[in-house]
Amino acid sequence: MTYQLLVIIVIINTIGFINSTILYVNVSFTAVWAENATTVAGLSNGTAGKSNNTLNSPRGLSISSDDILYIAEWNNARIVVVNLTSLQVINIIGSGPGSAMYQFDHSYDVMIVNQSLYVYDSSNQRIQQWSRNGTNPSTILTGTFGLG
């Protein structure tokens, strides 16, 4: 017996075009997590840090079809890029905390659509589009805090 998990992804670009994807994932009621695991990013003991091989409050992640993992890191204000085949960090996207185009202030989530990354930059109240190699950022949506 299985249950169905519904995932809805919505992107709205700067001219108002909406691109959405609906995914259904079947999961068994008797599914059991493996008791042995491999750490693919960060330290296996959970220690936080700022170096390339550590994470500090990872929030969102996305995996590309070519097995590249993108991790949005809340406290380090960056996107960590890991090759899942070699388990090596291959890129760091973002130049530290701030509000400039190449900076994040509490990067909260990351999503891959075609050859672009979309980063939800929480405290800067924006969604940025980047190329997958971490270049050419542009702000595609901005907002303000408040009740909607």
What digits encode the pLDDT tens for the residues 61-95? 888 889 899 999 989 999 999 999 999 999 999 98
| Residue 47 is assigned to a structural domain of this protein | no
Number of H helices, E strands in the chain: 0, 10
Q: Domain of 131: which CATH number?
A: 2.40.10.500
pTM above 0.95, yes or no: no
Q: Tell me if 77 is assigned to some domain.
A: yes
Residue 3 belongs to a domain: no
Burial grade of 121 (CB within 10 A; 0-12, 13-18, 19 or more): buried
What's the structural domain count of the chain?
1
Sign of torsion, CA 51 134 128 109?
Answer: negative
In a domain, 108, yes or no: yes
Portion of the chain with pLDDT greater than 70, in percent: 79
CB 77 within 8 A of CB 106: yes
The residue among 113, 85, 102, 89 whose CA lies nearest residue 136 is 102
Domain of residue 67 covers 55-142
Between 33 and 86, whose confidence is greater?
A: 86
